[in-house]
Amino acid sequence: MATPTPPEPPTAREPKEADPRPALFVPVGENFTRLFGQAAATRAYRLAGSAGLEPGSADRLGEEGGRSVLIADLDYVWDPAWLPAMVQRPGTVLTHDGHAIIAHCVGPAQREAVMTAMANDATHALPDMKEFASSERPHRFILPLTPETQPIAARAAFIAGCEPVTDAITVAIRAVPAFHLARWAARIGIGAAAMTLLGVALSMLAFAFFWYGLMWPGLIAGAVSLIAATAGRGLVRAIGTDAPWRPIHGTIAGTFVPPLWYVGFGHGLVLNGADPVYIGILATVAAAGHVADGVARVSFRRSHGFAMRMWRPFDTKFRLIAAGRNVGLLLLGLGTLFRIPVTGLDAVALWTLVSLIVVVVRLAQAEGASLRGQKLEPWI
């Protein structure tokens, strides 16, 4: 006698597919305090666009179904890096000192709860969401945005928009002169692209001054070009503007300007009576060494997907003092100040060779590690 086949259990309902559309970004609240001439909502939308989010509004959320939505409280200003971090954390609310700042909601119930919590400043009303405390990323800022905190918030936003790993001179000038120049430029309507273009123009003017033996005007033009370029780069992320020109500017400023300066400075020294053969050797070593250094760094980035300066703590620290446009200008300035400009160019050539040796050795070590099957990861 055949054993009766037991009935099959009911098939479980298949999980609902995730909404394939990009996440929405919805700022809530009103804040009339401006940063770099921008309204809080405008800046928030631009930063969200840079992070790949679509703009949304609170009054249209009922039409979005199960679409992911990032809701941000406009009473606060935050590091742009928080947005991509929250995109990776569905069902999570970012909190700061007990306040809900940004929440990644995955359904209507969460959206409604977050809107209520932000309106009433009550994060305890979000029991169904994970909490991501800002203290877990202390290097990323979150600040209340009020007229009283506006200067501090603007400085924090500007510095967060700058390159995190760079040379010591850029670190110094972005904290005061570049920041104030950026605020002044934004106040009168000069954008990041115009500031960067001004930096390039001043770099070319510095080369012309050097070429004709006008060392101090060249040094001043070069120094102001560094401040203008830093102000332009900081504004890009501080206000979330599009900057398709940044790679081009990086190539011009980082690769072509320093060799021009060194050659122009050398020509000016010859006009002022220096030995042309010796100066020609120094200028060639400094210019060629800088180009070779750049080629090695680009090779590292293309092979491993990130900049060499971010590989290990040593590389980050060495980047502070490595040869480059800013350090080279400083050495030329010190030589001119102490009335030994030839020695200044000597120092640039020597330090460029030392930096090149370090970079080549690190590139060789990275390639060796890669050949042994190790995957290189940035420490930052």
User: How far is 235 from 184, CA to CA, in rounded Å?
Assistant: 11
pLDDT tens for 46-75 read 999 988 899 998 887 777 777 899 999 999
Tell me the mean pLDDT in the region 24-44: 92
Closest alpha carbon to 111 in 148, 57, 45, 34: 57
What's the confidence (pLDDT) of residue 194? 85
Return the CATH architecture of domain 24-143.
Answer: Alpha-Beta Complex (3.90)
Burial of 273 (0-12, 13-18, 19+ CB in 10 A): exposed
Residue 9, pLDDT > 50, answer: no
Residue 93 bridge partners (DSSP): 103, 131
Query: Token match 């609902």: residue?
Result: 16
Query: Which residues, 6+ apart, have CB-to-CB distance to 137 below 8 Å?
Result: 81, 82, 85
What's the confidence (pLDDT) of residue 219? 98
Q: Where are the beta strands (DSSP E) in the chain?
A: 24-28, 54-55, 69-73, 76-78, 92-96, 99-105, 130-133, 142-144
**How do strand 24-28 and strand 69-73 relate by DSSP bridges?**
parallel
CB 182 within 8 A of CB 234: yes
Closest alpha carbon to 242 in 56, 86, 52, 77: 52
Per-chain mean pLDDT for the chain: 89
**Which CATH number, 1.10.630.10, 1.20.120.1760, 3.40.50.460, 2.40.50.100, labels domain 162-371?**
1.20.120.1760
pTM as predicted: 0.85
Confidence band of 13 (pLDDT split at 50, 70, 90): very low
Distance from the Cα of residue 348 to its chain's centroid? 27
What's the confidence (pLDDT) of residue 10? 43
Question: Among 129-143, 170-184, 240-254, 296-310, which stretch is predicted with the lowest mean pLDDT?
Answer: 240-254
Q: CATH 3.90.550 residue ranges in the chain? A: 24-143
Query: Token match 């101090």: residue?
Result: 216
Residue 167, pLDDT > 60, answer: yes
Residue 104, pLDDT > 90, answer: yes
Residue 131, pLDDT > 70, answer: yes
**How do strand 130-133 and strand 99-105 relate by DSSP bridges?**
unpaired
Per-residue tokens: 200: 């390039």
Per-residue tokens: 63: 């039409």
Burial 230-241 (b: 16+ CB within 10 A, else e): bbbbbbbbbbbb
pLDDT tens for 271-294 read 999 999 999 999 999 999 999 999
DSSP 189: T
What's the confidence (pLDDT) of residue 12? 39
Residue 1, pLDDT > 50, answer: no
pLDDT tens for 19-32 read 677 889 999 988 99
What's the confidence (pLDDT) of residue 249? 67
Q: CATH 1.20.120.1760 residue ranges in the chain? A: 162-371
Classified as helix, coil or strand, 102 is strand
Helix, strand and coil content of the chain, in percent to the nearest 5, comes to 60, 10, 30
Top-confidence residue, 60 or 262: 262
Tell me the mean pLDDT in the region 308-331: 95
pLDDT tens for 174-217 read 889 999 999 998 888 888 888 888 998 999 999 999 999 999 99
